[in-house]
Structures are given as C-alpha cells and as structure tokens.
Amino acid sequence: MTQSYVVMTPFTLGNMKIIRFERTHNLDESMVHHIAGGQHSGIIINKECKLKMEPMDVPEMQLQFTCIMFNNRTSETHADLEQ
C-alpha cells in the first residue's frame, strides 16, 4: 500500500493568502518545503505556489480556526478568526 500524505500548499488569491489541504499518494518532491516527522509523519508543507491556483468549487469540508501571529520585530501578537 502506498503511503498517504496530507499536503499543505500556500498560494495567493487576490490579496489573501490561502492554504490548500489535500490528501494524496503522489508527492512532488520539487515543491516540498518541510516534511514533518515523528507523530506528525505524513504531513508535508509545500513551497508557496507561484502559479495561478483557484480554490476548488465545492470543498469537501470547511473548518474554522483561530490563527495567532507573532511579530518578532515588534513583539506584537495578532489573532485572526479564519473560516
């Protein structure tokens, strides 16, 4: 059985940063930025895609989460509610 990966690919759509999550058995190693290990084995973070990518018409699922960003230069913390 081929290993299944969860691949996260960041790209820009307009003025928004979007991360596409996909489950795949095929891995494009030239796009890989980070391969998680240990208990997170199988999670891959790709380099930002410079090509024009469009989100899928109908997502399989939609999640809502809070993203907390920390700026090292200014020591400011900013929380964003994402959907």
Q: What is the pLDDT along the chain (83 residues), one digit of tens a residue?
A: 568 899 998 887 777 777 888 888 988 899 999 999 999 999 999 998 876 656 556 666 666 666 777 788 888 877 665 55
Output the pLDDT for position 45. 92
Residue 67 neighbours by CB distance under 10 Å: 9
Q: How far is CA 71 from the centre of its chain?
A: 20
Q: What is the pLDDT of residue 3?
A: 84
The count of structural domains within the chain is: 1
Domain that holds residue 67: 5-50+57-82
pTM greater than 0.75 (yes/no): no
How confident is the model at residue 21, as a pLDDT? 85
